[in-house]
Amino acid sequence: MRIARFVTDSDPAYGVVTGEPGEETISQLVGDPFYQGIQETGQSHKLEDVRLVAPIIPRSKLIGVGKNYADHAKEMGGEPPASPLLFLMPNTAVVGPNEPVSLPSFSEEVSYEAELAVVIGRICKDVPLERVNEVIFGYTVANDLTARDAQRTDNQWARAKGFDGSAPLGPWIETELDPEGLRITGTHNGELVQDGNTSQMIFGVPELITYISQALTLLPGDVILTGTPAGVGLLSDGDTFEAEVEGIGVLRNTFRA
């Protein structure tokens, strides 16, 4: 099931997206599916008649995982980490699909990173490997924007990874997906620049959730960005970037100085 958030002329609502590409409809849900389950209002729209917004604004946190693909660790000039390298982002970093992102004034080097994102469905702590599926609500696509210059100069990555607009998410949350063996691509101004597979992750989704939940209680709506394959590069004013994960969809954003 594909769960999106959208606006027409009123406040954002959740909906279930069905149909083939270009002919999708969205059926509005009652309230918040994270807390109220899937209950349709009976109202539906053509997808092209609504504007999608970020499928989730975490109430609590986004957790990033650095250097989780060996080829990306190598292109960054480092060894793959021995255990997951975690960082936190604020919920003000989240923007939705097709939303223009303002490149931050303090950086000359903002990079794109196409990633698979995991959306947590229930409160959990110390999740054992064999129970990870019980705590996952679904998966979406992320672009983990990174100010490389601030990443080099700052010991903590709060600015480099957490600036406003640094975490585009979307287009929706796919609730039925096996995260193993999915192609993940990044297309910059129409050119394919990242082409990896989730099977190349050093730490897979179950290991990440187990590891993270040993330190942090995870809440419904928390989002984990699982790392990016090789091919990262810089964004400029007027650029577009499309992150795509097989089985989910395409997250497209434009960038302006």
Shortest Cβ 72–Zn ion spacing (Å):
8
DSSP symbols for 192-232: EEEEEEGGGBSS-HHHHHHHHHHHS-B-TT-EEE----S--
The answer to whether the CB of 221 falls within 8 A of the CB of 135 is no
The answer to whether the CB of 119 falls within 8 A of the CB of 56 is yes
Nearest residue to Zn ion, scored by beta-carbon proximity: 144
Number of residues that bind Zn ion (CB under 5 A): 3
Residue 198 engages Zn ion in binding (rule: CB under 5 A): no
Shortest Cβ 99–Zn ion spacing (Å):
19
How crowded is the C-beta side of 21, counted as CA atoms within 13 Å? 5
Between 3 and 101, CB nearer to Zn ion: 101
Can you tell me the distance from the alpha carbon of 126 to that of 173, in angstroms, rounded to the nearest whole number? 24
Stretch that binds Zn ion, among 139-147, 165-173, 177-185, 231-239 (CB under 5 A): 139-147
Q: Which of 144, 239, 242, 244 binds Zn ion (CB under 5 A)?
A: 144
Stretch that binds Zn ion, among 43-51, 142-150, 166-174, 211-219 (CB under 5 A): 142-150
CA-based nearest residue to 225, from 67, 60, 107? 67
Shortest Cβ 20–Zn ion spacing (Å):
31
Buried b (16+ CB within 10 A) or exposed e, 47-76: beebebbbbbbbebbbbbbbbbbeebbeee
Six-digit token string for 165: 């607009």
Between 14 and 157, CB nearer to Zn ion: 157
Q: Which of 13, 103, 104, 113 binds Zn ion (CB under 5 A)?
A: 113
Shortest Cβ 201–Zn ion spacing (Å):
12
Measured on CA atoms in the order 227, 230, 235, 238, is the torsion positive or negative?
Answer: negative
Which run of H or E residues covers position 36?
Answer: helix 33-36
Q: Build a one-symbol-per-residue string for 211-250: x at contacts with Zn ion by CB under 5 A, - elsewhere.
A: -----------------x----------------------
Shortest Cβ 249–Zn ion spacing (Å):
19
DSSP state of 92: G
Between 24 and 75, CB nearer to Zn ion: 75
Shortest Cβ 35–Zn ion spacing (Å):
29
Question: Where do contacts with Zn ion occur on this chain (CB under 5 A)?
Answer: 113, 144, 228
